[in-house]
């Protein structure tokens, strides 16, 4: 069984949280169990500003990952001061993406500067799974999306979604019993071991141990006294306070449980402890170019599916429907090219055009359409929601199917058939589209109801980017 230990490292209010962070990192080092510490950018600055070089050195022996700039909040008052998922719901894709790239780039910069390594993993914050986040972090060079979107939250088989390597799995947590007052430390440790062994015996392929260093110093979340109920009326930062702490003895007791548990796990021969960076090292994509034969193979699979689909080549590699769209467009827009590049592409960011069509386009006119679409792909790196052709506007599924047939018939036919096709690819797993629309982001943290129909629909539209690993 593979096990990934990860810590959402976010408390930038109480300096004592730094001591817990150091102790956890040192326990993992002592027992030879690698861990992943997902740092909030403000937490990294907090550690530095507290002068805690010892904490930086302890954490740096493990994977340093990223957990957002401020943890749900974005304090830049140049923008509307609301929780970021709510902002993403209200604004266009491009405005939301621009804001995220603007603000998250600073957090990433500071984590890299302080800890000496550029994160490759984003540990998803509780509600922030809007696809704009994945797009922003892809632009910023982060390759791994840990914990997964709702459609892939417990499936141990990695997938690609929004050009991110999605690593998800069933989860355990010390916090499942950490704060129970009706159990002794020994009973808590015994329960942790028993739950872990149950996963091992059931054949769990990969298990995530997910917890928070701040939970070792307090029974109350660090945000709760400050902005738990919302950020619009939250007190200014200079008035933030730390929640009531455990006694030092209580904190040491909880850290003892972790240390003993790690000693137990490290002694199990059937367990392989990994970090998210390990998975990135295996699956990080390399630049690829495709031949005319490869392009025909992609086109044949789209033709057989009568629309957008994932494509698998003879070497076993997969392309997402968005990537196939990009390769076919390039091939038809550049008929003399010997190699067609693989490009990171996103799906449509508006509702796809749905009008039906059944017409034949002159081949030369259709190739002109492809050249115009290719210019748009170079600028936006995403599948258009609507394609203007000489024969009328069509949806991206219809245009992809037409490109596939144009590739397959070559110049033998003077026309290219435009036939209505689905604008969304078939799901890889049954129920994926329903799961992507099954819950709204950030309901938990905001403590109030809020609808996210645009975000959930965008999450479905980005299914164009899904492919197996």
276-293 b/e (C-beta count within 10 Å ≥ 16 → b): bbbbbeeeeeeebebeee
At 317, phi and psi to the nearest 5?
-75, 150
Of 359, 318, 353, nearest to 424 by C-alpha is: 353
Cα separation, 121 vs 109, in Å, equals 14
Whether residue 72 is predicted with pLDDT greater than 90 in this model: the reply is: no
* Confidence tier at 27 by pLDDT (50, 70, 90): very high
- What pLDDT score does 463 carry? 97
Lowest mean pLDDT among 28-37, 222-231, 308-317, 363-372: 222-231
Residue 416 has pLDDT above 80, yes or no: yes
**Would the CA dihedral through 41, 43, 44, 45 be positive or negative?**
positive
Per-residue pLDDT, 441: 61
Query: pLDDT class for 449, splitting at 50, 70, 90?
Result: low
From 22-31, 60-69, 233-242, 305-314, the region with the lowest mean pLDDT: 233-242
pLDDT band at 442 (very low <50, low <70, confident <90, very high): low
User: What is the enclosing helix (H) or strand (E) of 311?
Assistant: strand 311-312
Query: Which of 177-186, 187-196, 382-391 shows the lowest mean pLDDT across its residues?
Result: 177-186
Q: 25-37 b/e with 16+ CB inside 10 Å = b?
A: bbbbbebebbbbb
Quote the tokens at residue 408.
């397959």
> Is the pLDDT reported for residue 142 higher than 90?
yes
pLDDT of residue 443: 56
168-171's contacts with Cβ under 8 Å and 24+ in sequence apart are 168/208, 169/4, 169/204, 169/205, 169/206, 169/207, 169/208, 170/199, 170/204, 170/206, 170/207, 170/208, 171/207, 171/208, 171/209, 171/210
Exposure class string for 102-136: b at 16+ Cβ within 10 A, else e: ebbbebbebbbebbeeebbbbbbbebbbbbbbbbb
DSSP letter (8 states) at residue 452: -
Q: Which DSSP helix (H) or strand (E) runs through 238?
A: none
> Looking at the predicted structure, is the pLDDT value of residue 78 above 90?
no
| pLDDT of 447 over the 70 cut | no
> What's the whole-number mean pLDDT along residues 65-94?
82
Distance CA 234, CA 225 (A): 9
Q: Which of 43-47, 126-130, 239-243, 362-366 has the lowest average pLDDT?
A: 126-130
Instruction: Give residue 300's pLDDT.
Output: 98
Residue 133, CB-side half-sphere exposure with 13 Å CA sphere = 30
Is residue 345 within 8 A of residue 325, CB to CB? The reply is yes
- What pLDDT score was predicted for residue 446? 53
What is the reported pLDDT for 156?
87
Q: Is 166 helix (H, G, I), strand (E, B) or coil?
A: strand
- In degrees rounded to 5, what are phi and psi of residue 264? -65, -50
Q: What is the mean pLDDT of residues 431-456?
A: 75
* pLDDT top residue among 179 and 280: 280
Query: pLDDT digits over 278-325, tens only?
Result: 999 999 999 999 999 999 999 999 999 999 999 999 999 999 999 999
The pLDDT confidence band at residue 440, using thresholds 50, 70 and 90, is low
Mean pLDDT of the 185-209 span:
97
pLDDT at residue 130 in the model: 87
Q: Say yes or no to pLDDT of 128 above 80.
A: no
pLDDT band at 36 (very low <50, low <70, confident <90, very high): very high
Contact between 206 and 3 (Cβ < 8 Å): yes
pLDDT at 229: 72
**Residue 319 near residue 351 (C-beta atoms within 8 A):** no
Please state the domain extents for the chain.
2-283, 289-419
* 8 A C-beta contact, residue 322 and residue 382: yes
98 Cβ contact list (under 8 Å, min separation 6)? none
Beta bridge partners of 389: 392
Host H or E run for residue 402: helix 396-409
Q: Mean of the pLDDT values across residues 224-253?
A: 87
Q: Is the pLDDT of residue 445 over 60?
A: no
Mean pLDDT of all residues in 81-95: 85
Which CATH number is 2-283's, of 3.40.50.300, 3.60.15.10, 3.40.50.1970, 3.20.20.370? 3.20.20.370
């Amino acid at each position: 069984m593979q096990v990934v230990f990860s810590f959402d490292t976010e408390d930038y209010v109480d300096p004592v949280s730094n001591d817990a962070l150091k102790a956890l990192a040192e326990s993992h080092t002592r027992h030879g169990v690698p861990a992943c510490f997902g740092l909030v950018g403000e937490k990294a600055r907090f550690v530095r500003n507290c002068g805690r070089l010892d904490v930086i050195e302890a954490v740096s022996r493990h994977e340093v990952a990223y957990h957002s700039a401020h943890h749900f909040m974005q304090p830049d008052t140049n923008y509307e001061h609301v929780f970021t998922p709510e902002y993403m719901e209200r604004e266009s894709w491009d405005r939301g993406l621009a804001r995220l790239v603007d603000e998250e780039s600073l957090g990433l910069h500071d984590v890299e500067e302080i800890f000496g390594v550029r994160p490759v993993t984003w540990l998803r914050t509780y509600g922030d799974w809007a696809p704009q986040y994945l797009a922003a972090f892809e632009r910023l060079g982060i390759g791994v999306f840990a914990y997964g979107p709702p459609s892939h939250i417990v499936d141990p088989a990695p997938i690609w979604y929004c050009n991110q390597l999605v690593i998800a799995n069933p989860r355990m947590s010390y916090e499942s019993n950490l704060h129970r007052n009706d159990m002794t430390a020994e009973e808590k440790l015994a329960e942790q071991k028993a739950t872990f062994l149950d996963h091992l015996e059931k054949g769990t392929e990969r298990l995530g141990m997910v917890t928070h260093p701040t939970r070792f110093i307090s029974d109350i979340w660090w945000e709760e006294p400050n902005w738990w109920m919302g950020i619009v009326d939250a007190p200014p930062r200079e008035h933030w306070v730390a929640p009531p702490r455990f006694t030092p003895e209580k904190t040491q007791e909880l850290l003892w449980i972790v240390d003993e548990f790690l000693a137990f796990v490290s002694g199990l021969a059937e367990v392989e402890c990994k970090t998210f960076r390990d998975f990135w090292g295996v699956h990080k994509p390399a630049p690829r170019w495709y031949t005319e034969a490869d392009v025909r193979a992609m086109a044949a699979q789209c033709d057989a599916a009568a629309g957008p689909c994932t494509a698998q080549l003879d070497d076993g590699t997969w392309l997402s429907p968005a990537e196939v769209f990009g390769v076919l467009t390039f091939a038809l827009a550049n008929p003399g090219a010997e190699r067609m590049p693989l490009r990171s592409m996103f799906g449509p960011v508006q509702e796809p055009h749905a009008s039906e069509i059944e017409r034949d386009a002159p081949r030369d006119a259709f190739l002109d359409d492809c050249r115009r679409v290719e210019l748009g792909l170079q600028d936006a790196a995403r599948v258009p929601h609507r394609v203007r052709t000489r024969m009328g506007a069509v949806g991206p599924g219809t245009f992809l199917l037409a490109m596939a047939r144009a590739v397959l018939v070559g110049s033998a036919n003077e026309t290219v058939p435009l036939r209505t096709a689905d604008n969304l690819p078939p799901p890889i797993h049954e129920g994926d589209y329903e799961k992507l629309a099954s819950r709204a982001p950030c309901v938990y943290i905001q403590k109030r109801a809020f609808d996210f129909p645009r975000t959930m629909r965008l999450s479905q539209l980005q299914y164009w980017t899904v492919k197996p690993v």
